[in-house]
Structure 1
Amino acid sequence: MTSFIDLNLYPDSPLPDAADVTTALTLTVPKIEPKEEPLDNIIHTNPNLNFSLNTQPCSTPNERQNVNQNNISLDTQPYSTANENERQNVNDVYSEFNRISEMFRTAFSSAEKAVPDDSRAIVLVPEENQFGNQHTAVADSSRRKNQQRSGELVRVTNLGIEDERYFRHVVRKTRMMYDSLRVLVNMEDEKRKGSHVFGRNRSARGDLRAATVMKERGLWLNRDKRIVGPIPGVYVGDIFFFRMEICVVGMHGLPQAGIDYLTSSQSSNGDPIATSIIVSGGYEDDQDAGDVIIYTGHGGQDKYSRQAANQRLEGGNLAMERSMHYGIEVRVVRGFRYDGSPSGKVYVYDGLYKVVDSWLEAGRSGFGVIKFKLIRMENQPDMGSAILKYAEGLRNGSLQGTPSGYVSMDMSMKKEKMPVFLFNDIDDNHEPMFYDYLATSVFPPFVYHHGGNGGGCNCVAGCTDDCFCAKRNGGEFAYDQSGLLVRGKPLIFECGLHCRCPPHCRNRVSQNGVKNRFEVFRSKETGWGVRSLDLIQAGSFICEYTGVILTREQAQLFSMNGDSLIYPNRFGERWAEWGDLSQIFSDYVRPSHPSVPPLDFAMDVSRVRNVACYMSHSACPNVLVQLVLYDHSSIAFPHLMLFAMENIPPMRELSLDYGEADEWTGKLSICN
């Protein structure tokens, strides 16, 4: 059973008074500054976003976190589902995205209301900064807004397999919601400014706006209790592209300060307690050796992030010292620059550390700084930051000596744009090499003559929001300017052979093939599995699930021969989870256009297959199946395109929801 332990801290021996300790340091500072991350300075959001139509947002959240004395439960409501018969006329294309745009307009207008300062803050934040109150509790329907964060410390224990799966689902669902809000904010800002170049006008700061909306809806996680130790549903190695997302999932409660802690006024015995830190090299005296960190306390920096005054043992500094005294572990998140990240940085959760020592010394600047020595606790998964560096070494060949176990450096035989590696350091099984590699599915010839070609757009320079292909998709494209999936749909129409737009058109994402370096590897747990050497951003295209497409009659004959068949109609409809905003808006409707008949075909992978065929099954997958058409117009025979449901770190196994078991054998339709 899931349980948690209250941490009421009453040591047997008397504690030194904090004021006496501070006096002994003989340091004087005019004020205590939070330890900020220099690269994450909050940028004011643009209040002039324009939206269309008229729909009111939900005023009551559907999900809130509840913690009691016996267990921790995150009560969630079932997903909202649309009536599939609601729109009978497929020619009446309903513009779902325009409707959502209005929801965003009303949501963000309420998000920009003035927020009162928090008297418990160490340094008050200017009123014009709408994110200045991130250290306060999230409001929900049963509590007033800006309620102070809980002062109760707990440690979650005894999580079973089902508990782990449940909490992982809640965290993933929250992160998908955050990503959907962020992407849509940026898209609306691009449209408002008439920009068609991704990243040129980002004044909306979708990462900040998304966090504000979720905060006002009470959708930030782990705000009712201060959790010491691991956060349920967050794994060591999980990667975040935005600092605010770390706050949303409850890993670190402050948007800029490097030390998150329980203040002395909230603590049961009057001592502040640190719960997490962010290490990003913001202080010149920091030293990071991986398992051992010499961490500089906060305070004394000027606006140029230079040490300009002495530090004092107060606030977060005192909280770190008290955590050392009580032996309480702290979560460590590392942040560093990373090419390809939409924010220019990544944040990696690297696990739990113990503060084992603290002292005062003169720093490089000549001013007194407080230092803390942290050592990583044993029996934890490998650090995510170390795996990132290892994967980078594999990609650029900078590792000393090639790791043994590589059977092939490209099992696709150059049929993919990026090499697909085959790795096995467990046994002598080289089975994937015995199959012909198939980069895209093979359809029956009659499919290409069914229903004509559907026409095409005349966008010579690139597709616009009012072109023919946009209308086929319900009035908006399924991808943003960087190629990320905005919202899952029953079917996506990409530009095809009869369109005049160039190959780099924003509506040609999945048809352009693999962009990441994948590796089929031998696993003791799952047999064969798939992982990437690249960091994959949530919403990114991964690859197509390929095979030889068979009609029902052909499939019956093949199955009689015992051949390996995949039945696409059994895949879980995870596409409906990507972009699901039912927790934000009460009238959110699951996309139902275009209406797609049940997939009545099978895929033969007994002789030919691609990298996707080696993905493992999971009830909590990180990859979804999205149906796409681009080279023909038969909606009964779409391509099965795979997209990332979350940020997938390098070397982490990719998994799919293969759905229902076979009604005859009781086995999942997994070819490996």
Structure 2
Amino acid sequence: MEQGLGSETLDKSRVLNVKPLRCLEPMFPPDFGSSQFSSPQSANFVCAPPTGPFPPGVTSFFPFLSQNGSLNQATPFDVNHAVQSPTPIRSFRTPMSQNGNGYPMNFGDESSSKSDKSKGSSKKMKNSQIGDGVDVDAEVEVVANSFFSSYDLTKFHSSRLVDQDKETVDCVLMMFDLLRRRIAQHDDSGNKSSSLARNANLKAGAILLNKGIRTCTKKRIGSVSGIDVGDIFFFRMELCVVGMHAPSMSGIDYMSMKTHSSEECVAVSIVSSGGYEDVDDGDVLIYSGQGGNMYKKAQDTISDQKLVKGNLALEKSLHQGNDVRVIRGVKDIAHPTGKVYIYDGIYRVQESWIEKVKGGYNIFKYKLGRKPGQPQAFTMWKSIQQWKESISSRTGVILPDLTSGAENLPVCLVNEVDEEKSPGYFTYSSSLKNPKPINSPQPSTSCSCRGGCQPGNSNCGCIQKNGGFLPYTSLGVLLNSNSLIYECGSSCSCPLNCRGKISQAGLKVRLEVFKTNDKGWGLRSWDPIRAGAFICEYAGEVVTSREVDNNYIFDTTRSYKPFDVILRKQNELLKVPYPLVISSKDVGNVARFMNHSCDPDVYWQLIVRENKNESNLHVGLFAIKHIPPMKELTFDYGVVESEKEERKKKCLCGSPKCSGYYF
């Protein structure tokens, strides 16, 4: 079969008439106890381990190997001993790859990510110790266990994870992202390798999988419960921990499926990241197979792709007609070297062929068609790109920029519902004006970091006030979980692009004020938003009376549920240390259009800025979770204690958690 692949004349029927290959089961190297260790057919989670470059010193992790090197049978997570006696986080060191029919365990086999293979995924990893013999693994384990102690891990009991729902998926993804940010903050704070800080997502994913904190432990064909078409992910490990796509690098995921006569391996999901010559035309995707000499060097011999592993699984899916999940990888505009992964829904393989490409080798091509009746996802992204190039292509635009240039990015006003032309007159202001100084518990001092505040600078007064850490990543993602964020102020020596001034540098995403069907005007983004990312400030006028009766009041004296309440051990309400009441009726910014929801995707955070020996309060709005483009941005308006019943307003958020009213 493989010899015929390179010939000019190929009998296609011979290629298609193949038996399932038992090499599709993972094979493990001798150091794990057996040179020919294959998974039993009854395994709950039978798949190739994630493949691709991994941080210095990462070994195979749950659910692929147990501590003694045997295949782990998806052992339920022991929630009673999760923090007291955690599953050991083994050395982050990569074992040698296994040649032959078994899958390599170095996270860089021939089925590595199409877009990432040319970046040196086969390089040897460094030792897991850095600096003066500091054991990175031990430090990360301490950080992780401290993090887990704050949350209710009974939510991840195996009995609950069998039938996952949206809340369960949100729990796992939130746990992943909060842990990732905590590890990134730890690695960023001292004498740590920058490469380790960049791999915080891989370490967080390895820890969660090792502890069994995941959903959808069994592979399945078709949609995954709790994940909607259009949902977005910023890391391949997120796809792994929620069961969307198991390999962390390979573009094709597959499983064994019983047929009337035998058992065959079929594809369950693919990731199209544009690394190969994939072609898309709306609801049709031409997907290139894996393997071969896609990144051929001068000294390499020509090597055709082979009909094995993922390629064979896609070929079998063509004949079985099974559903295949398609995840599209697109460039992350906020992080040029990163990607955003969009779940584009269910496709089916319609056609396959072999094509000779530049370089003289043959590759497999698969045509997949999107099943009709699904919500827009990738096609919406393509439409948004057209809007950015020409605002006239956006239907329903009333004003191209309602801020009149007050923001660094335009905010258009759109109505596709009725004939209303304006939300009412107000003066646009991008920031809260002249708030009353507060008596901060921290001394009001300015920093002298002329080039910008740098991680690990113990002499920076602003870093000291934030507990020794910078409050944000370079992408504007919040790292602190404190009740107050201390930012550099106008009297600090650092420039506006300093990591300590994220909320002062203007909008980071393209926003749109739009007319809703039943809640008046609302706010949404054209761009994807990362969990923890700064969206905008809540601007307006500070008022002294809490009896102001209008629909544009922000009041910190109300009681609020913490944004991570679904993970908390107790369902407590948060109280903030400083009273601040803002009216945005006459003066305000885009935040005044953000509606209430009982299940919000945005939370607010108090920010203290230093200004000439004074401390001024501001309110920043941040993403609770990843927010896809065109999804309405909402936050919880809070609860007024001992409020009169007649002051209640009917809630129209429509979420399953809706309480029916708000104040």
| 8 Å CA contact retained: 1:623, 1:655 | yes
Q: Which amino acid aligns with 2:477?
A: L
Alpha-carbon distance, 1:511 to partner: 2.8
Q: Given the alignment, which residue of 215, 233, 239 partners 2:232? A: 239
| 8 Å CA contact retained: 2:540, 2:588 | yes
Alpha-carbon distance, 1:521 to partner: 0.7
Q: Which amino acid aligns with 1:457?
A: S
Alpha-carbon distance, 1:486 to partner: 1.0
**Aligned partners of 1:639 and 1:107: how far apart in 2?**
42
Alpha-carbon distance, 1:179 to partner: 2.8
**CA 1:628–1:76: 2 relative to 1, 3 Å:** farther
Q: Report the more deviating stretch, 322-331 or 624-633.
A: 624-633
Aligned length: 546
Secondary structure in structure 2 of the residue aligned to 1:448: coil
Residue 34 of structure 2 is matched in structure 1 by none
**Aligned partners of 1:469 and 1:247: how far apart in 2?**
37
Say whether 1:316 aligns with 2:310. Answer: yes
**Aligned partners of 1:267 and 1:342: how far apart in 2?**
48
Alpha-carbon distance, 1:220 to partner: 2.7
Alpha-carbon distance, 1:358 to partner: 3.3
Q: Which amino acid aligns with 2:280?
A: D
**CA 1:392–1:293: 2 relative to 1, 3 Å:** closer
**Aligned partners of 1:25 and 1:313: how far apart in 2?**
11
Q: Given the alignment, which residue of 322, 326, 331 partners 2:320? A: 326
Residue 119 of structure 2 is matched in structure 1 by none
Residue 428 of structure 1 is matched in structure 2 by 419
Q: With structure 1 as the length reference, what TM-score do the two structures score?
A: 0.68
Say whether 1:228 aligns with 2:234. Answer: no
**Aligned partners of 2:491 and 2:310: how far apart in 1?**
62
**Aligned partners of 1:455 and 1:108: how far apart in 2?**
43
Q: Report the more deviating stretch, 475-484 or 269-278.
A: 475-484
Q: Given the alignment, which residue of 554, 571, 582 partners 1:603? A: 582
| 8 Å CA contact retained: 2:287, 2:366 | yes
Say whether 1:259 aligns with 2:252. Answer: yes
Q: Which amino acid aligns with 2:223?
A: P
Secondary structure in structure 1 of the residue aligned to 2:524: strand
**Aligned partners of 2:260 and 2:167: how far apart in 1?**
31
**CA 1:255–1:453: 2 relative to 1, 3 Å:** closer
Q: Given the alignment, which residue of 268, 277, 287 partners 1:275? A: 268
Deviations 1:208-241 (A, max 9, x none): 2222111111123211x22322222322222223
| 8 Å CA contact retained: 1:438, 1:547 | yes
| 8 Å CA contact retained: 1:307, 1:365 | no
**CA 1:365–1:496: 2 relative to 1, 3 Å:** closer
**Aligned partners of 1:235 and 1:191: how far apart in 2?**
36
Q: Given the alignment, which residue of 646, 649, 653 partners 1:667? A: 649
Alpha-carbon distance, 1:128 to partner: 8.5
Aligned pairs for 1:18-29 (under 5 A) are 22=14
Residue 280 of structure 2 is matched in structure 1 by 288
Residue 42 of structure 1 is matched in structure 2 by 52
| 8 Å CA contact retained: 2:56, 2:93 | no
Residue 165 of structure 2 is matched in structure 1 by 167
Residue 444 of structure 2 is matched in structure 1 by 455
Alpha-carbon distance, 1:424 to partner: 1.2
**CA 1:187–1:326: 2 relative to 1, 3 Å:** same
**Aligned partners of 1:118 and 1:191: how far apart in 2?**
37
Aligned pairs for 1:248-647 (under 5 A) are 248-263=241-256, 269-284=262-277, 286-301=278-293, 304=296, 308-341=302-335, 343-360=337-354, 362=356, 366-384=360-378, 386-397=379-390, 401-442=392-433, 447-448=436-437, 450=439, 454-461=443-450, 462-463=452-453, 464-551=457-544, 554-556=545-547, 558-559=548-549, 564-570=552-558, 572-576=560-564, 597=576, 600-631=579-610, 638-647=617-626
**Aligned partners of 1:363 and 1:267: how far apart in 2?**
37
Alpha-carbon distance, 1:407 to partner: 1.7
Secondary structure in structure 1 of the residue aligned to 2:483: coil
| 8 Å CA contact retained: 2:347, 2:371 | yes
**Aligned partners of 1:191 and 1:174: how far apart in 2?**
26
**CA 1:314–1:570: 2 relative to 1, 3 Å:** same
Deviations 1:479-506 (A, max 9, x none): 1244320133211121234434333332
**Aligned partners of 2:443 and 2:490: how far apart in 1?**
10
**CA 1:263–1:426: 2 relative to 1, 3 Å:** same
Say whether 1:112 aligns with 2:110. Answer: no
Q: Which amino acid aligns with 1:292?
A: V
Deviations 1:255-312 (A, max 9, x none): 222221113699994111221111233444x432231123233343366399944445
Deviations 1:369-422 (A, max 9, x none): 4433211111111123x322322222233x7x4434222222223332322221
Deviations 1:405-447 (A, max 9, x none): 2222222233323222211132222332412223223466xx3
Q: Which runs of 5+ in 2 are unaligned?
A: 1-11, 27-49, 59-66, 68-72, 114-160, 653-661
Q: Which amino acid aligns with 1:180?
A: L
**CA 1:546–1:267: 2 relative to 1, 3 Å:** farther
Deviations 1:173-201 (A, max 9, x none): 32233333334444444444478xxxx65
**Aligned partners of 1:166 and 1:544: how far apart in 2?**
35
| 8 Å CA contact retained: 2:490, 2:610 | yes
**Aligned partners of 2:302 and 2:402: how far apart in 1?**
57
**CA 1:334–1:122: 2 relative to 1, 3 Å:** farther
Alpha-carbon distance, 1:655 to partner: 1.8
Q: Report the more deviating stretch, 562-571 or 472-481.
A: 562-571
Secondary structure in structure 2 of the residue aligned to 1:170: helix
**Aligned partners of 2:396 and 2:164: how far apart in 1?**
35
**CA 1:549–1:668: 2 relative to 1, 3 Å:** farther
| 8 Å CA contact retained: 2:112, 2:249 | no
Say whether 1:214 aligns with 2:208. Answer: yes
**Aligned partners of 2:254 and 2:464: how far apart in 1?**
51
| 8 Å CA contact retained: 1:111, 1:212 | no
Residue 630 of structure 2 is matched in structure 1 by 651
Alpha-carbon distance, 1:108 to partner: 9.0
| 8 Å CA contact retained: 1:488, 1:576 | no
Say whether 1:178 aligns with 2:176. Answer: yes
**CA 1:601–1:383: 2 relative to 1, 3 Å:** closer
Secondary structure in structure 2 of the residue aligned to 1:272: strand
| 8 Å CA contact retained: 1:571, 1:625 | no
Q: Which amino acid aligns with 1:610?
A: N
| 8 Å CA contact retained: 1:622, 1:645 | yes
Alpha-carbon distance, 1:519 to partner: 1.1
Alpha-carbon distance, 1:597 to partner: 4.8
Q: Which runs of 5+ in 1 are unaligned?
A: 1-19, 35-39, 49-58, 60-64, 68-73, 81-99, 135-162, 584-588
Alpha-carbon distance, 1:107 to partner: 9.0
Residue 120 of structure 2 is matched in structure 1 by none
Alpha-carbon distance, 1:542 to partner: 0.8
Q: Which amino acid aligns with 2:593?
A: Y
Q: With structure 2 as the length reference, what TM-score do the two structures score?
A: 0.69
Q: Which amino acid aligns with 2:542?
A: I
Q: Which amino acid aligns with 1:517?
A: R
Q: Which amino acid aligns with 1:484?
A: V
**CA 1:47–1:259: 2 relative to 1, 3 Å:** closer
**CA 1:180–1:597: 2 relative to 1, 3 Å:** closer
Q: Which amino acid aligns with 1:506?
A: R
Which of structures 1 and 2 has the larger relative contact order (alpha carbons within 8 angstroms, sep 6+)?
1
| 8 Å CA contact retained: 2:51, 2:247 | no
